[in-house]
Structure 1
Amino acid sequence: MGRVREVSEQTGIERDEGFEAILEHLKETRGFDFTGYKRSSLMRRVSRRMAQVGADGYPDYLDHLQANSDEFAALFNTILINVTGFFRDPDAWDYLQAEVVPMLLAERGPDDQVRIWSAGCSSGEEAYSLAIVLAEAMGLEEFRQRVKIYATDVDEEALAQARQATYGEKEIESLPEEYVRKYFERLAGRYAFHKDLRRSVIFGRNDLVQDAPISRIDLLLCRNTLMYFTAETQANILRKLHFALQPRGVLFMGKAEMLLSHSRLFDPLDLRHRVFRKVAFTPAGASVFGMSFAQDQPTAVTEADELRALAFSASPVAQVVVNSEDVVALANSQAQQLFGLSERDIGRPLPDLELSYRPVELRGYVAQAREERRAMRVKDVEWQRGPGEVLVLELHVSPLLSLSDEVIGVSVVFHDVTTSHRLLSELANANRARENAYEELQSTTEELETTNEELQSTVEELETTNEELQSTNEELETTNEELHSTNDELQTINNALRDRTSELDDVNEFLESILTSLRAGVVVVDHQMRVVAWNSGAEELWGLRNDEAAGEHLLNLDIGLPVAELRPVVRPALADPAYSEEIVLKAVNRRGRAVTVRVACGALRNRRGESTGAILVMETMDGLAEPATRGTSRTSEDR
């Protein structure tokens, strides 16, 4: 199939250029760098997705990715398998709760903040397990004031689920009943983590391979995440985790991860439970994120500074460095040439330069990178550099951290992606043209096949038409007989309907006479509490005619009765066929007189005994002393 293969010297796994092209495409177009993941598991998961879409090989699947933007989400969900749970591996969590957390709290002052990072948090169960452990150890109030839990993942869909903080019966079945009662509340058939504790858990996207780590962490959980990466990528990530931890900070890993080859970074507290403690670096020879430091070598430092300055200036990519005071500290030759900067612009405030707002509003991104202490990419920035010259740039804005973990500046790198952007655009147009041509050819083929089928069916129809005409005469003869018979049946049905209508009229007249004869006000409502019957007694009592009340919501009627207070007695009657209750209310009748009204409410039942509405009977109690409560009656004051 034209694919070039080679064998990796590190892993011994056959390298497939077609597969590597897919990884490079994901990195360039979506910012996901999977090149550090283990090839065996990656290829297995990508092949599973290829089988689902019917791709014959990696080049075919790359074409499918480029033509279908929705495929990215499906592929990421296949690659980023989120397996998690509350207190996963209970023995390790018991050790963390009994030994590690008390030790960490004892080493810190009573007012010190406790910062925790859950890397690869998936749908949030691990982060909320941490919250429960800390809340149990510190108490709820102290937990709210002192603890911050940073939970990160690369899967935006999993992070969205984690932020909702709601879980089903199956997901919380491993939790002790005491924890469920104390830390969750039941909402719409699911269990939601308490909001006041949820505020201490902060979710965000962080790629362990590409993004800068969160700093000054006391306890870092990275469980069963490193096993998906290659050995080299694992080493790079572990250096980041080492940098993220406070002195004597603790790293809690999964049981599938050994960390034996990185003992110089961490000492085991309990190897069986995969709990390690940070080993402090000595400055000489230490390496963090690829930067080396040396001591007591002033000549070497001067030479290194000169080399760095020359390398920075000669870089083929335009780069500008802004210090902590928003002053342009450095700008290499490419940046000076691209944006027309001179040596006099070095040392000037960024807002004073045209670069601050052209080709993009740069100040906001610089401030955001400094504030959030994370790198970001600004893609597809189009810049009209001159007449007929449009450049497409991609900006990489990265905070620069000192050894003391302070943000001392921000680096802005401008990548010219005009050529690749144009090629991608041309490739997309070519793909669209190819798809359109294929669709037209397919449509033409389908039309020809349809025409052939129609001609064949026309011949068959003509052959059968003669037979149909012959049978039509016979059908017409039988139809005449059927019409005679149908006429007799319709006459019988008409007589039966006439008798039924007469009976219904009698029943309606009988029911109407009952309602009219009752002196008390009678109101019937349906399940939506809309009035379906309003007798003359109700008209006499409230001055509202039947045609005015019919179809209106009971609680929206503007009468002298406080209808809002009927809700507690009407609602149960709509649900319970056996329900019956009385209530006594103060009201004003249609003549404007204050009256005391007894309202009896019961369920309206059908033949099957089901509640189809409610009946309210209203009668005044004028001339009586303050009524005593009888049976289940109650007054508005009682309620």
Structure 2
Amino acid sequence: MSAEIREPGLDELLIFIRDARGFDFTGYKRSSVARRISKRMNDIAVANYVDYRDVLETDAAEFSALFNTILINVTSFFRDPDCWAEVREQIIPELLEARPDGQIRVWSAGCSTGEEPYTLAILFAEILGEDEFANRVKIYGTDVDEDALREARSGTYPATSLAPVPADLRERYFASDGEQYTVNNDLRGRVIFGRHDITRDAPISRLDMLVCRNTLMYFNVETQKQIIDRYHFALRDGGYLFLGKAEMLLTDSNRFEVANLRRRLFRRRAGDTAQTPPALPPIQTPIQSELREVARRRRLRDLTIEAAPNAVVLVDVDGTVSMFNDLARDMFGLAATDLNRPFQDLELSHQPVDLRPMIEQAEAERRHLRVTAAERHLTNGSVEYIDVLLQPLFDDDKRKVGTALTFVDTTTASKLQNELQRTRQDLQKAYESLQSTNEELQASIEELETTNEELQSTNEELETTNEELESGNEELETMNEELRIRRGELDEARTFLSGVLSSIVAGVVVLDSQLRVRSWNRGAEELWGLRSHEVSQQPFFSLDFGLAVSHLRAIVEQCRTSRQRTGPVELAAVNRIGRKITCSVACSPLDDHGEGVVLLMEQLHRS
């Protein structure tokens, strides 16, 4: 072991990174991970691992820079074409012959930005045809890098990345937008991306093929063995393991046979009866509990700032920027390099209002200050209105430690307020003009006054109406009383129906007249994995979940037109845990006026 690896604090730093961000590098080759961490430390002039951990605790952006240094995302479409030719000509036909009617399950582990699983999808679609491919093949792409997975899920790549893709395949499976290409929806829909750590998480099971190319080489021998154990568990008998050219599997011939050594293709031997995936033992150190608690608190603080509904910037007592959330990044164009910069060097320190003297005032007076509707002129010529709240921060000893700046975009409200003020002024002028007219126009004046009162509040409108219809006052009071009683009954009925809706095991989805989601009950959440707040007011036919909602448009339109119950229809679907099911869907009108529909979704069986 080198002196660099023996440097105090490396194990504690790796455990802190694992507990704070969920990236477990303890099983990586120590020489490699130590060298890459040292490179990052040299870039920011940090002397040792202990000091670098302090940097990570205070600078959330440094985690991203470190992960980009450690995680080498090297991939491309049809990387090593001769290997993919072997997969196309030999492996895939053998899999289809072995399972002529069954579903084919493929896992691309360490998929980076997604080129590899999309390559697999193209090959299967070419051999099976797009319709049969959509019905029979499911491809999983996993990685530990969330940034890489976001790119993979988008399915959008520059033209240079598609250079290895033959022109006919590029035209068939990608849509061009200038210099960008996007995977078509049919192909994208059969690839499921998710975060997965092959050293810690349970493997995907019942696989016909597992692709993990040039990933194992970054781990030490012990971790490689444990990962191979998991891969062996994940594959069916006869399933293929496709490794990278830098990796071999020569010492495990009792469990894997060589299919093509040159192409690094191996096949799982039949006969192993293991039922559970092996688990990697956790690393225990005397300070692990303390590190976990520190990491948990720091993560909680970071999440609280990020989850804030408004842009937040924290300025340290020495006048430097110590933290900001994503909303602040988007609103003011901040970058990771702006952390630890003097606040006065940033444009937002004096735009839309000079905040520097106000920060000093808030700290000196030890109270909150607020700026209302400050105008911010954007480069495109438009104007934003922003409320700024300055909150001085003090520790337990009442010593000032900094200032929290909260920016609230009130552009819409301010514009509405200005418009309302102008409307009021216009109405006042109209009212004064009407007062100068003769008695013959008095009825018109009263009508305009009534209209003006309607704009103010419903109560004033009712008072004016009651004055004009004084002779019918008793009748109106009786009617109002009946309405109040009926409203109470309606509220009770709504509460009762809400309770019934939430208790229904089946999925119930209520759509409004625009076919947007109005209600999404607990049964729908359990069936599809989407929460009510995620789909509320979203167009139903634009939702992407385990049910092919486009197949429901006919019965929904029929229900809206006939205002009678339609269905049920039975559709193949995939529930929230990825299992194929048959779903029965019935559609009923919400009312007699075509204002919406109610969809009842019931799982008939799993396949």
Provide the TM-score with structure 1 as the length reference. Answer: 0.44
Larger Rg: 1
Bigger relative CO (Cα 8 Å, ≥ 6 apart)? 2
Provide the TM-score with structure 2 as the length reference. Answer: 0.46
